Chains A and B, each alone.
Chain A
Amino acid sequence: MAAEELPSEFDVVILGTGLVESVVAAACSRVGQRVLHLDRRSYYAANWASFTFNGLLTWIQQHHESQSEEVQDRSSLLEEGEELIYLCNSDSASISNLQTHDFVQSQAPHTDGEEPETAQPQPPTAPSQSEPVRKKISYTHLVKEGRRFNIDLVSKLMFSRGSLVDLLIKSNVSRYAEFKNITRILTYRNGNTEQVPCSRADVFASRQLSVVEKRKLMRFLTSCVEETEEQQVYNGRPYLEFLRDQHLGDNLQHFLLHSIAMVTEDTPTEVGLTSTRHFLRSLGRYGNTPFLFPVYGLGEIPQCFCRMCAVFGGIYCLRHSVQCLLVDKNTNRCKGVIDSRGQRISCSHFVVEDGFVSAERKKVATPPRSISRAVLITDASILPSDSDQQVSMVTVPPIAAGSPSVTMVELCSATMTCAPGTYLVHLTCQSVGSAHEDLSPVVTRMFHTSESHDQDERPSVLWCLYFNMADGSAAQVEGHDLPSNVHMCSGPDGGLGHEHAITQAQSIFDKILPQEDFCPPAPNPEDIIYTEEETKKEGVEEEEEKETTKEGEEEEEEKTNEEEKETKKEKEEEEEETKPLKEE
Chain B
Amino acid sequence: MHGRLKVKSTAQQEEQKRQEREKKLKIFVAVRDACFSKRKEGIWDDEALKLTQQVLSSNPDFATLWNYRKEILMHQETVKEKDEVQTIYGAELSFLESCLQTNPKSYGSWYHRGWVSSRMPKPDWARELTLCDRCLSLDERNFHCWDYRRMVVKMSGVSVDQELAFTDRLIGSNFSNYSSWHYRSTLLPLLHPESPEPPSPCLKPAQTSPPPSPQTHSHRVCEEQLLKEYELVQNAFFTDPNDQSAWFYYRWLLGRAEREDMISCVYVSRDEERVAVAFSRPVNAQSVGLLLVLDGQPQRVEWRSVHPRFKHSPLWICDLPPGTISDISYEHNLTVHWTEKHIHRDCALYTGRTESYCRDSAMDQELFRSELSVEKTSVLQSELQSCNQLQELEPLNKWCSLTIILLMRALDPLGYEKEMLAHFQTLREVDSMRSAYYSDLCSKFMIENTILKMEYAEVRVFSISDKNLTTLCHLDQLLLVTHINLSSNQLQRLPPQFAMLQCLEVLEADNNSIENLEGLYHLPKLEEVLLKNNKISTLADLQPLASCPKLKRLDLRGNPVTQIANVESELAELLPAVKDLLL
Q: Which residues of A does B touch, CB under 8 Å?
A: 200-201, 203-205, 211-212, 214-216, 218-219
CB distance from A349 to the nearest CB of B (A): 40
Taking a contact as CB atoms under 8 Å apart, the answer to whether B393 and A203 are in contact is no
- A219 lies within 8 A of B239 (CB): no
Interface residues in B230-246 by Cβ distance below 8 A to A read: 234-236, 238-241
A213 CB, min distance to chain B CBs, angstroms: 9
Q: Distance in Å from the Cβ of A3 to the closest Cβ of chain B?
A: 56
A204-B235, A204-B236 as given contacts; A215 in contact with B241, CB under 8 Å: yes
- CB contact under 8 A between A211 and B172, given known A200-B239, A203-B239, A219-B393: no
Q: Which chain B residue lies CB-closest to A212?
A: B389
**A216 to B392 alpha-carbon distance, docked (Å):** 11
A204 close to B175 (CB less than 8 A): yes
Q: Which chain A residues lie closer than 8 Å to B389 at the CB level?
A: 211-212
- Chain A residue nearest in CB terms to B173: A201
Chain A residues in 8 Å Cβ range of B547: none
The range of chain B's interface size is 10 to 19
The smallest beta-carbon distance between B258 and chain A, in angstroms, is: 31
Of residues 374 through 414 on chain B, the ones whose CB sits less than 8 Å from some CB of chain A are 386, 389-390, 393-394
A212 CA to B234 CA in the complex, in Å? 10
A319 → chain B closest CB, angstroms: 48
* B393 adjacent to A200 (CB under 8 Å): no
Does B67 sit at the interface, judged by CB under 8 A?
A: no
Pick from B172, B234, B394: contact of A201, CB below 8 A. B172
Chain B nearest Cβ from A284, distance in angstroms:
11
Known: A211-B235, A211-B238, A218-B238. 12 other contacts (CB 8 A): A200-B239, A200-B240, A205-B172, A205-B235, A211-B234, A211-B390, A212-B390, A214-B235, A214-B239, A218-B240, A219-B393, A219-B394
Contact with A along B212-243 (1 / 0, CB 8 A): 00000000000000000000001110111100
The chain A residue with its CB closest to the CB of B393 is A215
Within 8 A of A (CB), among B128-181: 172-175
CA distance A162 to B299 in the complex (A): 85
Residues of chain B contacted by A214 (CB below 8 angstroms): 235, 238-239
* Chain B residues whose CB sits within 8 angstroms of the CB of A201 once the complex forms: 172-175
A204, A215, A219: residue with the most chain B Cβ atoms closer than 10 Å: A204
Contacts of A211 in B (CB 8 A): 234-235, 238, 386, 389-390
Given contacts A203-B239, A204-B235, contact A215 B390 (CB under 8 A): yes
Q: Which residues of A contact B173 (CB under 8 A)?
A: 201
How far is it, in angstroms, between the C-alpha of A204 and the C-alpha of B241 when the chains are bound? 12
Q: Collect the chain A residues with CB atoms within 8 Å of residue B175's CB.
A: 201, 204
In the complex, 9 of the A-B residue pairs with CB atoms within 8 angstroms, ordered by the A residue number, are A201-B172, A201-B173, A201-B175, A203-B239, A204-B240, A211-B235, A215-B238, A218-B238, A218-B239
- Please report the C-alpha to C-alpha distance between residue A215 and residue B394 in the assembled complex, in whole angstroms: 9
* Residues in A whose Cβ lies below 8 Å from that of B235: 204-205, 211, 214
Residues of chain A within 8 A of B241, CB atoms compared: 215
Q: Which of chain A's residues has its CB closest to B234's CB?
A: A211
Q: In whole Å, how far is A183's beta carbon from the nearest beta carbon of chain B?
A: 13
Contacts of B172 in A (CB 8 A): 201, 204-205
Cα distance A350–B172 in the bound complex, in angstroms:
54
Find out whether the CB atom of A216 lies under 8 angstroms from the CB atom of B236.
Answer: no
Could you tell me the distance between the alpha carbons of A204 and B232 in the complex, rounded to whole angstroms? 9
> A203: which B residues are within 8 A, CB to CB?
239
Residues of A within 8 A of B394 (CB): 215, 219
User: How far in angstroms is the closest Cβ of chain A from B238?
Assistant: 4
Residues of A within 8 A of B236 (CB): 204
Rounded to whole angstroms, the CA-CA distance of A482 and B59 in the bound complex is 68
Q: Which of B174, B386, B393 has most A Cβ within 10 Å?
A: B393
Give the distance in Å from the alpha carbon of A218 to the alpha carbon of B394 in the complex. Answer: 12
Q: B234, B236, B239: which has the most chain A beta carbons within 10 Å? A: B239
Interchain residue pairs A-B with the least CB separation, the first 9: A211-B238, A215-B238, A204-B239, A214-B238, A203-B239, A215-B393, A214-B239, A211-B234, A218-B239
Whether B238 lies near A212 (C-beta < 8 A) is yes
Residues of chain B with a CB closer than 8 A to A205's CB = 172, 235
Report the separation of the CA atoms of residues A101 and B316 in the bound assembly, to the nearest whole angstrom. Answer: 92
B309-334, CB < 8 A from A: none
What is the CB-to-nearest-CB distance from B396 to chain A, in angstroms, rounded to a whole number?
Answer: 12
Q: How far is the CA of A212 from the CA of B238 in the complex (A)?
A: 7
- What B residues does A215 contact at CB under 8 A? 238-239, 241, 390, 393-394
